[in-house]
Chains A and B, each alone.
Chain A
Amino acid sequence: MLFTSYEFILFLIVLVILYYLMPKKYQWILLLGASYLFYAFAGRTYLLYIMATTLSTYLISNRIHRLQQTASDYLKESKGSLSREERKEYKTSMKKKQRRLLVVCLLLNFGILAVLKYTDFTIANINSLLNLFHVRKELPFFRFALPLGISFYTFQTMGYIIDVYREKYSAEKNVFRLALFVSFFPQLIQGPISRFDDLKETLYSEHFFDAREVSFGLQRILWGYFKKLVIADRLLIAVNTIVGNPKEYQGVYVLVGMFFYAIELYCDFTGGIDIVIGIAQVLGIRIQENFIRPYFSKSITEYWRRWHITLGTWFKDYMFYPISVSKSMLDLSKKCRKWFGNGIGKRIPVYLASIIVWFTTGIWHGAAWNFIVWGLLNCLVILVSQECEPLYFKFHSRFSVKDKFWYRLFQVGRTFWLMSFLRTLDCYRDVSTTFRMYGTIFTEHNYGQIFRGGFMTFGLSLADYIILILSVTLVLVVSLMQRSGSVREKFAERPILLRYTAYFVMFLAVILFGAYGVGYDASQFIYSQF
């Protein structure tokens, strides 16, 4: 059931009506039922995977929590009777037990994800290697079906159990409540990857119908559909034409494809997240923001703080820091300082942790070398720019351009194009084609062609381009307005006639100009495939 399908809209309407009509204390149970129903639409067998993740996490997190309580009670009771060493030893042994349980849970759940998502990729690489050594045997592919949103819910659930292990909060005692946290349907397909302590406050509470909240939620949903259906799915036609015909579309067309894809992906992903957050808001539930106008970033580091925020913070909290401060990494750091001196020595563990995190980020997005190279190139750019910081500092202290508007605009443009370059790896079928296409930007001098009818060969009409220009301008204006606070709140203070007219015009724009139905390929949200 796609967010853009009529079935989903009907499902949502029925759910919201029931949600506010039923006794408030059962609302979360209805949400659980709705989430499982939503998931069952994607494939009933997929339910087994999400149930396995829920159940294993529930059992193990509660076991960990009980060990924590036992340890805490024992240490309280035996205060004074145990020496400091004995207490430390006991604590360590109990932590070890908890860690063992945590590792089992992580291995099991990341194992399911790895097997389903990466088996065929691994086999393809083994086959390539065998081929390289002229071995005629090829391993067969398994072609596992990937359960809907498995990358998202696995990360969210594993984040939860790590937090329980770290004693950030207690384990959830009610398996059904945990099941709702894992499967809450709006965020199941493309995130955000929520934290239990953020979500539980509103997920299980009783919600009364609040016209303002519902109205704000509906506005956000409408805005999401506008970005997805009017812009992203329209641009998809042009992007598919360009990247699907690399022999025909080279040089300047690669740049156009990059630009179009940047807008398409932004509108697709943020549009989807707007729908997710809007649905949650209609239900009275607050979900964390996942984007803060990322294309206004002045550096790649800043960009990654503003794009897919919950994934970035997940990697930072559950991977980068634990790796950086792990015992083996600290030992390595010590050795490196000894061998290479303080400057390089302290960098090596950070670099290593960054490379591991970016490799994982890449492969999380998809089981293909494109994504791995994309992740590693992001890492390279970030590390290089970190290394260049002293140079930037010198430059800025010599030339006071930092606060100049044109310089900030240059920084924004530079970051946008750099990210668009890297992101092109998502589009072409393999890494070598992508690099070949990068090359043609410099070797094919066809810049004039694009204005001599080139734009009209992508499958879009003049009317489509007019809609795109107007819509993207609107998105840009709204983004600029958002810098000084919520646009919806500002708009809520306007006269009713103006507001209602604007809502209706937006609704009409989605209905009339949306690229859906016959003549358009129904397009899934790009991030739902990850």
Chain B
Amino acid sequence: MKKKILINIAAIFLAIFILSMIQRLLMPKYMTEIPEGNLIEEYYDEEKKHDVIFIGDCEVFSNISPITLWENYGITSYIRGSAQQLIWQSYYLLEETLKYEKPDVVVFNVLAMKYNEPQKEAYNRLTLDGMKLSQAKIGAINASMMEDEDFITYIFPLLRYHSRWSELTSEDFKYMFKKDTLSHNGYLMRIDTKPVNVIPKGKKLPNYQFGDNSYSYLDKMTKLCKENEIELILIKSPSVYPYWYEEWDEQMVQYAKENDLTYINFLDVVEEIGIDYSKDTFDGGLHLNLSGAEKFSLYFGKILSESFQLEDQRENRDLAKIWEEKVKFYYDMKADQERELKEYGYLKSYGGQAQQIEPGNE
């Protein structure tokens, strides 16, 4: 009897082990395609001590370079950004981040305010799959799920990715246990250029009012920051698409005023920043490339360091040592991308070929 019980227990453990291995194998690795799928997960390997945490959608992970902030102002920062990150996801990511560290400043890109309800399962996955299991993750899942989604598939992603067995590649085996770091403190580098051809006019909308759900999460975010004595800065990052309406801007100005927050619309100072959309974007104006991101970070870093009194940490030996490696990785990747661009005419191993994101679809 005792032997049978032991065999059963061993069998259960073995089954769980095999299932977890299969789950690891089947989960998308996002190493060469859709690298933004890795951003959320990379944070956990990081030394969690940052002056600034950025949260938001692609307009943060493409447009802000923490290395530039470090090199020029000694600001340590991390971007917890992800593709089409919805405001409730930003809120829960912030809640989770605050369990690990307490930054001086949190920067939230307000473009996500336009989405009042969950949008697309595929984007949910890019944010939520990378999160470690926690109260915050459960909250984020519940807030993000589309009607036809199942909670359990976020907890056991094998149930979501089970059919990938027929499309496994060598990448799935190679990165099953350890993945390469792709971002620079959450910044996804792209050095290629695709200039803006047309600057679009915004389509007329039936209603410009941001939704109640968006506002309720912005309120929560504000409250969370205030409770933790963190300065919350709302920004609208520079981009040509998606269109940022005057009516939206007014609402953000009003909100910041009512809640004693700083709101900066960088679209108003694009020229002052020095962004040239014929050179500084890799996808026709949706996102900035490295050159654009460095210009923007240089400009924003000045504001952060002067207006929010962020200390220059470059004299801190321990930090300097950590960041020295990061800077090296940054310039190595830059050189590698330059080499690829020269050799192939496009970024072969950095997702440059995909160009899946089209204007309007973000």
- Interface residue ranges, A against B (CB under 8 Å): 5-6, 461, 463, 496, 500, 504, 507-508, 511-520, 522
Contact residue among A5, A461, A504, A517 (Cβ-Cβ distance under 8 Å from B162): A517
7 inter-chain pairs at a CB distance below 8 angstroms, sorted by A residue, are A500-B11, A508-B22, A511-B159, A513-B165, A516-B162, A517-B162, A517-B163
Q: Is the CB of B11 within 8 A of A512?
A: no
Additional 19 contacts, C-beta under 8 A, given A512-B162, A513-B162, A517-B159 = A5-B150, A6-B151, A461-B166, A504-B15, A508-B18, A508-B19, A508-B22, A511-B19, A511-B162, A512-B163, A515-B163, A516-B162, A517-B150, A517-B153, A517-B160, A517-B163, A518-B121, A520-B163, A522-B148
8 smallest A-B Cβ distances: which pairs?
A463-B166, A6-B152, A6-B150, A512-B162, A500-B11, A512-B165, A504-B15, A511-B162
Chain A residues positioned under 8 Å from B11 (CB to CB): 500, 504
Residue among A518, A520, A522 with the highest chain B CB neighbour number at 10 A: A518
User: With A and B bound together, what is the CA distance between A125 and B19 in angstroms?
Assistant: 55
Q: Determine whether B7 belongs to the interface, using a CB cutoff of 8 Å to chain A.
A: yes
Chain B residues positioned under 8 Å from A496 (CB to CB): 7
- Interface residue ranges, B against A (CB under 8 Å): 7, 11, 15, 18-19, 22, 121, 148, 150-153, 158-160, 162-163, 165-166
Q: Is the CB of B160 within 8 A of A518?
A: yes
User: With A and B bound together, what is the CA distance between A513 and B162 in angstroms?
Assistant: 7
**CB within 8 Å: A-B pair count:** 41
Chain A residues positioned under 8 Å from B121 (CB to CB): 518
Closest residue of chain A to B163 (Cβ to Cβ) is A519
CB distance from B316 to the nearest CB of A (A): 47
User: With A and B bound together, what is the CA distance between A507 and B18 in angstroms?
Assistant: 12
Chain B residues positioned under 8 Å from A504 (CB to CB): 11, 15, 18
CB distance from B18 to the nearest CB of A (A): 8
Chain A residues positioned under 8 Å from B160 (CB to CB): 517-518
User: With A and B bound together, what is the CA distance between A518 and B147 in angstroms?
Assistant: 12
Closest residue of chain B to A496 (Cβ to Cβ) is B7
Closest residue of chain A to B149 (Cβ to Cβ) is A518
User: With A and B bound together, what is the CA distance between A518 and B28 in angstroms?
Assistant: 15
Q: Is the CB of A512 within 8 A of B22?
A: yes
User: With A and B bound together, what is the CA distance between A522 and B153 in angstroms?
Assistant: 15
User: With A and B bound together, what is the CA distance between A519 and B167 in angstroms?
Assistant: 14
Chain A residues positioned under 8 Å from B148 (CB to CB): 522
User: With A and B bound together, what is the CA distance between A519 and B152 in angstroms?
Assistant: 17
Chain A residues positioned under 8 Å from B166 (CB to CB): 461, 463
Closest residue of chain A to B166 (Cβ to Cβ) is A463
User: With A and B bound together, what is the CA distance between A104 and B153 in angstroms?
Assistant: 50
Chain A residues positioned under 8 Å from B163 (CB to CB): 512, 515, 517, 519-520
User: With A and B bound together, what is the CA distance between A216 and B209 in angstroms?
Assistant: 59
Chain B residues positioned under 8 Å from A6 (CB to CB): 150-153, 159
Chain B residues positioned under 8 Å from A5 (CB to CB): 150
Q: Is the CB of A514 within 8 A of B15?
A: no
CB distance from A522 to the nearest CB of B (A): 8
User: With A and B bound together, what is the CA distance between A324 and B262 in angstroms?
Assistant: 88
User: With A and B bound together, what is the CA distance between A463 and B166 in angstroms?
Assistant: 7
User: With A and B bound together, what is the CA distance between A461 and B160 in angstroms?
Assistant: 19
User: With A and B bound together, what is the CA distance between A519 and B159 in angstroms?
Assistant: 12
Chain A residues positioned under 8 Å from B152 (CB to CB): 6
Chain B residues positioned under 8 Å from A512 (CB to CB): 22, 162-163, 165
Contact residue among B19, B153, B162 (Cβ-Cβ distance under 8 Å from A514): B162
CB distance from B39 to the nearest CB of A (A): 22
CB distance from B295 to the nearest CB of A (A): 40
Chain B residues positioned under 8 Å from A516 (CB to CB): 162
Chain B residues positioned under 8 Å from A500 (CB to CB): 11
CB distance from B127 to the nearest CB of A (A): 16
Closest residue of chain A to B146 (Cβ to Cβ) is A518
CB distance from B2 to the nearest CB of A (A): 14
User: With A and B bound together, what is the CA distance between A514 and B163 in angstroms?
Assistant: 8
Q: Is the CB of B15 within 8 A of A511?
A: no
Q: Is the CB of B158 within 8 A of A511?
A: yes
User: With A and B bound together, what is the CA distance between A429 and B158 in angstroms?
Assistant: 37
Closest residue of chain B to A515 (Cβ to Cβ) is B163
Chain B residues positioned under 8 Å from A514 (CB to CB): 162
User: With A and B bound together, what is the CA distance between A6 and B154 in angstroms?
Assistant: 12
User: With A and B bound together, what is the CA distance between A517 and B19 in angstroms?
Assistant: 18
CB distance from A167 to the nearest CB of B (A): 50
Residue among A515, A517, A522 with the highest chain B CB neighbour number at 10 A: A517
User: With A and B bound together, what is the CA distance between A188 and B11 in angstroms?
Assistant: 35
Chain B residues positioned under 8 Å from A461 (CB to CB): 166
User: With A and B bound together, what is the CA distance between A504 and B11 in angstroms?
Assistant: 9
User: With A and B bound together, what is the CA distance between A515 and B159 in angstroms?
Assistant: 11
Closest residue of chain B to A501 (Cβ to Cβ) is B11
CB distance from A274 to the nearest CB of B (A): 21
Residue among A508, A512, A514 with the highest chain B CB neighbour number at 10 A: A512
Closest residue of chain B to A507 (Cβ to Cβ) is B15
User: With A and B bound together, what is the CA distance between A500 and B165 in angstroms?
Assistant: 23
Chain A residues positioned under 8 Å from B19 (CB to CB): 508, 511
User: With A and B bound together, what is the CA distance between A516 and B150 in angstroms?
Assistant: 12
Closest residue of chain A to B26 (Cβ to Cβ) is A512
User: With A and B bound together, what is the CA distance between A478 and B18 in angstroms?
Assistant: 26
User: With A and B bound together, what is the CA distance between A517 and B151 in angstroms?
Assistant: 12
Chain B residues positioned under 8 Å from A517 (CB to CB): 150, 153, 159-160, 162-163
User: With A and B bound together, what is the CA distance between A373 and B121 in angstroms?
Assistant: 44
CB distance from A8 to the nearest CB of B (A): 11
CB distance from B102 to the nearest CB of A (A): 37
User: With A and B bound together, what is the CA distance between A476 and B18 in angstroms?
Assistant: 29
User: With A and B bound together, what is the CA distance between A11 and B163 in angstroms?
Assistant: 25
CB distance from A211 to the nearest CB of B (A): 10
User: With A and B bound together, what is the CA distance between A53 and B68 in angstroms?
Assistant: 74
CB distance from A465 to the nearest CB of B (A): 11
Chain A residues positioned under 8 Å from B150 (CB to CB): 5-6, 517
CB distance from B153 to the nearest CB of A (A): 7
Chain A residues positioned under 8 Å from B15 (CB to CB): 504, 507
Chain A residues positioned under 8 Å from B162 (CB to CB): 511-514, 516-517
Closest residue of chain A to B4 (Cβ to Cβ) is A496
CB distance from A468 to the nearest CB of B (A): 13
Chain B residues positioned under 8 Å from A518 (CB to CB): 121, 160
User: With A and B bound together, what is the CA distance between A520 and B148 in angstroms?
Assistant: 12
User: With A and B bound together, what is the CA distance between A511 and B163 in angstroms?
Assistant: 9
Closest residue of chain B to A514 (Cβ to Cβ) is B162
Chain B residues positioned under 8 Å from A515 (CB to CB): 163
CB distance from A318 to the nearest CB of B (A): 41
Chain B residues positioned under 8 Å from A463 (CB to CB): 166
User: With A and B bound together, what is the CA distance between A150 and B18 in angstroms?
Assistant: 43
CB distance from B244 to the nearest CB of A (A): 32
Residue among A500, A513, A519 with the highest chain B CB neighbour number at 10 A: A500
CB distance from A313 to the nearest CB of B (A): 39
CB distance from B157 to the nearest CB of A (A): 11
CB distance from B140 to the nearest CB of A (A): 18
Residue among B7, B11, B151, B160 with the highest chain A CB neighbour number at 10 A: B11
Closest residue of chain A to B167 (Cβ to Cβ) is A463
Chain A residues positioned under 8 Å from B153 (CB to CB): 6, 517
CB distance from A226 to the nearest CB of B (A): 14
User: With A and B bound together, what is the CA distance between A514 and B153 in angstroms?
Assistant: 14
User: With A and B bound together, what is the CA distance between A372 and B277 in angstroms?
Assistant: 68
